[in-house]
Amino acid sequence: MSNVIVTCAVTGSIHTPSMSPYLPITPAEIAEAAVGAAEAGASIVHLHARSPADGRPSQDPELFAQFLPEIAARSDVVINITTGGSMTMTVEERLQPALLFKPEIASLNMGSMNFGLYEMLGRYKTFQHEWEQPYLAGTEDMVFRNTFRDIRYILESCTANGTRFEMECYDIGHLYSAAHFLERGLVRPPLFIQSVFGIRGGIGAHPEDVAHMRRTADRLFGDDYVWSVLGAGRHQIPIATRAAAMGGNVRVGLEDSLWDGKGTLAETNAAQVRRICGILKLMSLEVATPDQTRELLALKGR
């Protein structure tokens, strides 16, 4: 069994900042959080940016330019830049940072979907910024657009830079979309398939859902892929543990879950990384280093 790749999604557009005081917002906070996650055992950091003024998701390359060099100078971690950005952005806006900075990995959503975050309004009553509540409410009537044309546009724009992709699959059909682009020659193996569980509008978080994703990916890709999982919210650690036992890799981080155990907010991304690394070691599994991860995913290197 290969060493387990641990990805940490440091900050993102899924949660709004007032839901946790620990979510990194400013470029300095994002850099510190990413380096801390790397020191705790993550070999990949998945990165979004936010406006320091109000925490709004942003794909402004100038914000990325304030934390990417700091992370690279202080660690050997593999940098993964989002092309997902926010549901309210155009694909051209979402692509800007990955196109400019040419990372080893960029994330890529493999299909359009209902992406429902509105149920958070029943759990959170106070908000720090005026945009947050309408943003969450609006997801009841919002489609996160990722058409075949959008996906082709991202692939064709970035592949010449040597960037490979974390192919985010929120449902079974997204695996078939990945296979479609493999058949078209727009991606090459090994594919890095990130199965996402527990988002309203995507596949659920039942053990059978995890097994179904794995079986389908095995059938479609055989030995030509590397499988990783993320579970949203309270599903983060249980899903990661289950997938690791099945030979998979794992993703944690404050983008995907604000929690470090029931009822306890995670104070850092590193806390979640340490938790899953501890579980992996108890399972007699080894955590991959950045260089081992580069070899497993056939990355271009720094």
Q: What is the pLDDT of residues 270-279, one digit of tens each?
A: 999 999 999 9
Residue 133 lies in a domain: no
Q: Which pLDDT score is estimated for 262? A: 86
Residue 37 in domain: yes
Which residues form the domain of 151?
Answer: 6-117+143-297
- Listed in sequence order, the residues at least 6 apart from 230 whose beta carbon sits closer than 8 Å to its beta carbon are 7, 9, 194, 195, 196, 197, 236, 239, 240, 250, 251, 252, 256
Q: Does some domain include residue 10?
A: yes
Tell me if 73 is assigned to some domain: yes
For residue 124, being part of any structural domain is answered with: no
In a domain, 287, yes or no: yes
Calpha distance 177→169 (Å, rounded): 9
Residue 213 pLDDT: 98
C-alpha to C-alpha distance for 123 and 299, rounded to whole angstroms: 41
Positions of the chain with pLDDT lower than 70, given as ranges: 1, 15
Q: What is the domain-level CATH number for residue 98?
A: 3.20.20.70
Whole-angstrom distance, CA of residue 232 vs CA of residue 17: 16
Sign of CA dihedral 131, 132, 136, 142: positive
Asked, for residue 147, whether it belongs to a domain, the answer is: yes
The answer to whether the CB of 178 falls within 8 A of the CB of 187 is yes
pLDDT in tens, 119-159: 989 888 788 888 999 999 999 999 999 999 999 999 999 98
Candidates 233, 162, 193; CA nearest to 5 is 193
Model pLDDT, residue 297? 98
Domain assignment present for residue 86? The answer is yes
How many Å apart are CA 238 and CA 11, to the nearest integer?
21
| pLDDT score for 255 | 94
The pLDDT, as a whole number, for residue 1 is 62
Domain count, the chain: 1
Confidence (pLDDT) at 12? 81
